[in-house]
Each structure stands twice: as structure tokens, then as C-alpha cells.
Amino acid sequence: MVQVAKELVELAQELIAVPTPAGREHRILPLLEDRLVQAGFSVRRQPVPGAGENLIASRGEGGPWFVTHMDVFPPYEHPAPFSPRVEGEELIGRGAVDTKGQIAALLWAVSVTQEPVQVALVVDEEQLGRGSEALEVPTGALGAVVLEPTRLRIAPAEAGSVGLVVLAGGRPAHGTMPWRGSSAIELAFALYERLLSLPLMQHRHPLFERGAWVNLGRIQGGYDTMVVPSRCELELDVGFAPGLSATEVAEQVKGALAEAETVQITDIWDPWETDLEAQVVSALKLAFRNAVGKEPELWGMPSWTDGANLVKKGVPTVVFGAGDLAVAHTWRESLPLSELGLLGQVLSELIRIWPRLRADTS
């Protein structure tokens, strides 16, 4: 069993206890600033128009660049989102994996090291990603590690996505004579099935569980059982692994939805993939081997992260962190303590070995 430092668990609980849905990240800034200053960082706040302030911290010149977000997904049905607790071998609470636990491991790692390191804690990831969009790349940065839940697998690739709002139209009729009308809800279901049958759904990538997928996140339509529904609105997200472009996916999707009354693309991102020979990938692999004693697994991150904005800035990027992405955003969000402890060890080892890797390649 991995021994987890008591102060690391306590720090993670302290961070979770500060409610920081998007727009409320300022509540946690003083705590984070204090911890970073204690670890020898110079710290500044970066204004992000309309979204609050990023926290930018630097210890020396160079070193790995760690990026993650301070906002958490809205509580919704979570019964006790900001009252963190440990049950068995798990830490429970909103943000446990996404991403207060990741931040706690990072703060612990910088507290037990002295080498140079750069940190950006950003706002607005759960909404528009304006925090990472506003970031300036630190001078000499050779790569970035975006801290998100990957179950300690190294993710050098991330899926793209097309977000959609679709309005299906119908023809109303009395509910006891549905054959005299045309149900918008039935059309909506048919359109959804057509999306699942698109050629892009056959796409495959070795790092991803699925090469493409559709999540029907919301459906709303109709009045009651005594009228055939004339309108039905769907909100969907189409995700896809590297090898497909957002443009070609959008074209296939629009073709499948041709019978809809309106189709609005609300969000569109290309997937990305970092060369496995990039220093940030090889360095993280080495740090993992040194800290854990075995080879790391590679994985594809199926969700948008701040890494997308870093890649657009030309930064070789990997996504890495503790916990299971599948439980993020749910009422059962939790983080295994063993993974929390291992994450802290891997990050501290990465900080220690980075200067030596720079010297070896210069």
C-alpha cells in the first residue's frame, strides 16, 4: 500500500472545502498564493477579461511547466460538494479529481523540492477556457504538463469535439390521434441514431477507448401526453480522436442532421497529439519509472483540457494526473488516496530530474 503523506491529504481537503465554481476562483487565491510563496515562488495574478484572475508562479528559470485549473464543475446533485471526507481509501468531494487533488499533489511536490519550476493555475476551464487562452508561455518552456485525471497514465493526445444545439420540428395533433401529426421527439431520436451511424464512428486510435462518440447531454420537448410534440431541442457533444479534423466531423454531422429545423455549433475543437520523442513526454516517463518502479501506460484524453490552448501556442503538452475522469462531474466524485500519493511522488521526481535532462540535451 502506498504511504500518503498526512499533510497532502489534509491539503487536498482544505482546497476542496473552498467552493470555486467558475467565476468564484478568487476565493482560493490567497490560500494558493501563501503555499507557493512558502515554497520559494514569486507569484503574480494575471487578469483574464470577464473571467477573473490566473495565478502565475515561478521558482527560478526554466523547469517543467505545470498547468491546471482552479474552477470546479457546478455542484448540481452532489450531496455534500464542499465538505470533503475520507471514506476507506478514497477522498470524496467536488473537485477531488477535477482538479483540487491534482493541485494538492503539485503544491506538495514543490514543497519538497528546490529546483526551478513554473506553475499556472487558471480560471474558467469548466466554461470557455479563457484562463489558459490568456496564458503567456514562460521563457524557455520546453513542454507543459496539464494536471487532469488520467489514472496516472500519460496522455500525449487529446480528443477534439463539436458541440451542438439541435432543434427538431414536428406537426402537432391531438394525443389520441398521433398518426395525424408528426412528433418532433421521434424525429430527434432518429437524428441521434443517424449520428451514431456516421462513418466517423468507425474511426480508431490506439490510445483511445473509442475513436469517436456522441453524448446526448440534454433533451427537452413536448407539453403532455395529449398533444403530439411540435418542437424538441437536443444538446449534444461529438468527440473524436486524432486522425479526424473538426471540419470534416462538422460536415458529416450537419449532413446527418439535415432534417432538423436548426443546427447550431456551439463549440468546435481539433484534436491534438504530441510527439512521443518530445522532452516533456520522455521526462515524465522517466520520472514515473523512478518514482513508481514500472513503465507508465500511455492513454488518450477524451475530454477537452487547457492543453488545447497550450498546443495552439506551440507548446509540446501532455495530460497527466490521479483519479478516474469518469467520476468527475458526478455526485460520486472521488480520488484514491494511493493515486494522490503517487502523483505527488512523480511530480516531485519530475522537478528534480528536469535540470539534469536539460544539461544532457544542451
Residue-range domain boundaries for the chain: 6-158+272-361, 160-269
* Nearest-angstrom CA–CA distance, 154 and 207: 10
The torsion angles phi and psi of 58, rounded to 5 degrees, stand at: -140, 135
Residues 6+ apart with CB under 8 A from 64: 117, 118, 143, 144, 145, 280, 283, 350, 351, 354
Rounded to 10 deg, the angle between the 101-111 and 29-38 helix axes is 20
Q: Would the pTM count as exceeding 0.85?
A: yes
**CB–CB of 230/169 below 8 Å?**
yes
Check: CATH 3.40.630.10 for 6-158+272-361? yes
Mind listing the pLDDT tens digit of every residue in the chain (362 residues)?
567 888 999 999 999 999 999 999 999 999 999 999 999 999 999 999 999 999 999 999 999 999 999 999 999 888 889 999 999 999 999 999 999 999 999 999 999 999 999 999 999 999 999 999 999 999 988 999 999 999 999 999 999 999 999 999 999 999 999 999 999 999 999 999 999 999 999 999 999 999 999 999 999 999 999 999 999 999 999 999 999 999 999 999 999 999 999 999 999 999 999 999 999 999 999 999 999 999 999 999 999 999 999 999 999 999 999 999 999 999 999 999 999 999 999 999 999 999 888 655 54
* Nearest-angstrom CA–CA distance, 25 and 72: 9
Domains 6-158+272-361 and 160-269 equal at CATH topology level? no
CATH number for the domain running over 160-269: 3.30.70.360
Cis (ω within 30 of 0) for the bond into 113?
no
